């Protein structure tokens, strides 16, 4: 059947890639928090996942800016990327991070371990900040383009 409005399938592929990446990052984070060993290697893995997510987000933004007719309304894309929820979760992550660092200083006796865990918490906090930054960029682009 002939369509008057072409459907851009690349968006769905990019959304699936971003979703997979978020899942991978969440699983790694849970693993780290449940068993904080090999933190240097695992922090590098988390940073690689963050970098892959940044690339996927950038690809979506680029495709959104290049596509005159998106597969669904830009407002729906905005809702699909859950920008408000990302901002809310980043606030929660800030609170969790501050509490975890306070607990760490209160209970950890080994200074080397304390430094390693504190640095890991700071990397995770930076990752949530970057997710919020990406959501803010998406929000701005969609609002400009709507």
Answer yes or no: is 4 within a domain: no
Contacts of 86 (CB under 8 A, 6+ apart): 131, 132, 134, 135
Distance in Å from the first CA to the final CA of the chain: 29
CATH code for the domain in which residue 78 is found? 1.20.58.220
Count CB neighbours of 25 within 10 A.
20
Count CB neighbours of 120 within 10 A.
20
pLDDT for the residue numbered 105: 92
Answer yes or no: is 1 within a domain: no
pTM given for the model: 0.48
Answer yes or no: is 124 within a domain: yes
Contacts of 69 (CB under 8 A, 6+ apart): 5, 6, 8
Mean pLDDT by 10 residues, the chain (146 residues): 53 81 84 83 85 80 67 56 75 86 92 92 87 77 61
Answer yes or no: is 2 within a domain: no
Q: Are 128 and 90 in contact (CB under 8 A)?
A: yes
pLDDT for the residue numbered 77: 59
Q: Can you say whether the dihedral through the CA atoms of 14, 19, 22, 24 is positive or negative?
A: negative
Beta strands in 21-143 (DSSP E): none
Answer yes or no: is 116 within a domain: yes
Q: Are 53 and 18 in contact (CB under 8 A)?
A: yes
Q: Name the residue range of residue 132's domain.
A: 10-145
Domains held by the chain: number: 1
Q: Can you say whether the dihedral through the CA atoms of 94, 100, 103, 109 is positive or negative?
A: negative
Answer yes or no: is 67 within a domain: yes
Answer yes or no: is 107 within a domain: yes
pLDDT for the residue numbered 146: 54
Answer yes or no: is 24 within a domain: yes
pLDDT for the residue numbered 4: 43
């Amino acid at each position: 059947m002939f369509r008057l409005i072409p459907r851009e399938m690349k968006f769905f592929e990019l959304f699936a890639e971003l979703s997979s990446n978020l899942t991978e990052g969440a699983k790694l984070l849970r693993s780290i928090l449940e068993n904080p060993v090999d933190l240097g290697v695992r922090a590098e893995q988390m940073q690689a996942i963050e970098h892959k997510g940044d690339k996927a987000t950038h690809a979506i933004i680029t495709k959104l800016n290049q596509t005159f007719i998106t597969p669904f309304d830009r407002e729906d894309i905005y809702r699909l990327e859950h920008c408000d929820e990302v901002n809310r979760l980043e606030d929660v992550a800030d609170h969790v991070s501050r509490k975890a660092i306070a607990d760490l200083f209160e209970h950890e006796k080994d200074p080397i371990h304390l430094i390693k865990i504190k640095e890991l918490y700071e990397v995770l906090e930076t990752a949530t900040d970057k997710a919020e930054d990406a959501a803010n960029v998406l929000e701005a682009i969609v609002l400009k383009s709507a």
